[in-house]
A and B are shown apart, each in its own frame.
Chain A
Amino acid sequence: MKIEELKEKLERVEIPRIELESHRSRLKMALLGSDYFKKRKGKIIMDTVRTMARGITNTMVDTLVARQPVWKVALVVFFAMIMIAGLVFGLGSLNGTQQAGLNPSGYTIIGGDKLTEAEEAWAMDILKADPRIQSLLAGGATVDIVLPILVELGKVNPETGQTETVQETWAQAWIAGIDGKTWGAVVDLVKGEVTQLSE
């Protein structure tokens, strides 16, 4: 047999297409139920916290480095100290249902339970409407996880004119770029805007 004949034989041989359906479905269940995704979820949350903390630190440093009046610098330092205290005592044990801490926008993260489907969809809409996130998504990034955060903040009551402490459910998202970069975003579901985005 010549080599060309052998090639032809190999090209035209009928190849079996056999599957074992029970193995396929059993393996899929084992993979999707494996510890990998559970551990991964925990890691994502901690990465988000670290990313946000890094963003806060960068903001503080930028503010301090810029030429600002003394009272502004003092204000930033004051908030920074509160934030660090919040991070040290609260965010260390952050998970999907228990969160605590402060952020630079003057709201306190006091917890987080569960987003309803409507809230999650709303958070995604807000994220997708943000031009900064649009440019990330255009570059191939994906919004991988949306978690709830319960925040406490001061708001002026239009009827009384008094500032009152209110609690609101916001969302935080983790955005993964195709080059391995990650961003953390805080979404104000009441105002309908992304209040913080940090790499």
Chain B
Amino acid sequence: MTDVKQESLLVNRAKNDPQAFGELYDEYYPQIFGYILKRTVNFEVAQDVTSEVFFKALKNIGKFRWQGVPFSSWLYRIATNEIANSFKGDSRRKILIEQLLESVPQYSPTPDVEIARAEEELKKHGEFLALNEAIAKLPVKYQEVITLRFFEKKQLKEIGEILDKKEGTIKSLLHRGLEKLRILTEQNATFCQDYSYIK
């Protein structure tokens, strides 16, 4: 969504209007799910974390104020925090999300066949998976900046908004992260060809 004023109006309406929130959801679900999947490389976790992100967004949208930070950055910020929580293994969160989704009358888990198809699709991106595997070995702060910069194609300013850090800090984190990644990839010159870790 490029029109800032239009988005601001939509976000404002979404505070009370389910239809407007649905429009925002349709707009940003693919980006947020994609970002989480790239960070976690696990469909089960990606579903749980995406659900958590949107429930948190819904719960807190009333507090969202337009202060120069786009709504998308706000969502990415929630997603980044939730990914970090998932890495810490918060099982309480997973139970809560399952309960919420089960409250939907037409509830049915994502069909196995759909997951299997998605996994097959993901395995086709060997180079991405190899790079991602190396990135996953870095400390989380470097994972965040590298993924946002290269896989989400975000500018430094936007990454700063998402991570609530100054642009200069992002630049330096990115530089140090890339240097560490370079060393890692050199140590593991033949990138891992076994992607059986995808669950």
**Do chains A and B interact in one complex?**
yes
Interface set of A (CB-CB < 8 Å, partner B): 1-3, 6-7, 9-11, 13-24, 26-34, 36-37, 40-41, 44, 140, 142, 144-145, 174, 176, 178-180
Do A140 and B5 touch across chains, with their CB atoms under 8 A apart?
yes
User: Which residues of chain B are within 8 angstroms of A140 by Cβ–Cβ distance?
Assistant: 5, 8-9, 12
Cα distance A178–B11 in the bound complex, in angstroms? 9
Contact A22 B111 (CB under 8 A): yes
**A-facing mask of B38-68, CB < 8 A → 1, else 0?**
1000010001001100110011001001100
Which of B16, B22, B66, B181 has a CB less than 8 Å from the CB of A6? B181
Question: Which residues, 1 to 15 on B, are CB-close (under 8 Å) to A?
Answer: 5, 8-9, 12-13, 15
A144 & B16 in contact (Cβ 8 Å cutoff): yes
Minimum distance in angstroms from B188 CB to a CB of chain A: 11
Q: Given A20-B118, A36-B58, A44-B16, decide whether A30 and B104 contact each other with a Cβ distance below 8 A.
A: yes
| B110 contacts chain A at the CB level, 8 A cutoff | yes
* Complex Cα spacing A44 to B38, Å: 39
* B residues 103-150 in Cβ contact with A at 8 Å: 103-104, 106-108, 110-111, 114-115, 118, 121-122, 124-125, 127-128, 131, 146, 150
For B21, B106, B115, the residue with the greatest tally of chain A CB atoms inside 10 Å of its CB is B21
Structural contact, A20 and B186, CB atoms closer than 8 A: no
Partner of A7, one of B65, B118, B125, B178: B178
4 A-B pairs besides A10-B150, A19-B33, A26-B108 with CB distance below 8 A are: A26-B104, A142-B9, A176-B15, A178-B66
Q: Taking the complex as formed, is B30 at the interface, i.e. its CB lies under 8 A from any CB of chain A?
A: yes
A178 touches B8 (CB 8 A): yes
**How many residue pairs at the A-B interface have CB separations less than 8 Å?**
140
Q: Is the CB of A30 within 8 A of B37?
A: no
Contact of B114 among A6, A16, A22, A174 (CB under 8 A): A22
With A6-B185, A11-B150, A30-B101 in contact, is A23–B47 under 8 Å at CB?
Answer: yes
Q: A17 CA to B121 CA in the complex, in Å?
A: 9
Q: Is the CB of A6 within 8 A of B122?
A: no
Known A15-B151, A18-B122; judge A26-B101 contact (CB<8 A). yes
How far is A138 from B4 in the complex, measured between Cα atoms in Å? 15
B interface residues, tally (CB under 8 Å):
58
- Contact check, A26 vs B107: say whether CB atoms are below 8 A apart: yes
Contacting pair A14 B110 (CB below 8 A): no
CA distance A9 to B107 in the complex (A): 42
Complex: chain B residue closest to A179, CB-CB: B65
**Pairwise interchain contact B108-A32, C-beta atoms closer than 8 A:** no
**Interface residue B164 (Cβ < 8 Å from any Cβ of A):** no
| Option from A2, A7, A176 in Cβ contact (under 8 Å) with B16 | A176
Task: Report A148 CB to chain B, min CB distance, Å.
Answer: 17
Residues of B within 8 A of A18 (CB): 34, 37, 118, 121-122
| Interface: B29 (CB within 8 A) | yes
Is residue B93 contacting chain A, with contact meaning CB distance below 8 A?
no
Q: List 29 A-B contacts (CB under 8 A).
A: A1-B185, A3-B179, A6-B185, A7-B150, A13-B127, A13-B150, A15-B128, A16-B121, A18-B121, A19-B29, A20-B43, A20-B47, A22-B108, A23-B33, A23-B51, A26-B110, A27-B29, A27-B51, A28-B26, A30-B100, A31-B22, A31-B54, A31-B58, A34-B58, A34-B100, A142-B12, A144-B13, A144-B16, A178-B66
Judge whether B74 is part of the interface by a CB distance below 8 angstroms: no
Residue of B12, B30, B37, B111 most packed against chain A (CB within 10 A): B12
B16, A41: Cβ atoms under 8 Å? yes
Bound: A37/B61 CA distance, A: 11
Please, how many angstroms separate the alpha-carbon atoms of A190 and B49 in the complex?
51
- A179 vs B59: C-alpha distance in the bound complex, in angstroms? 19
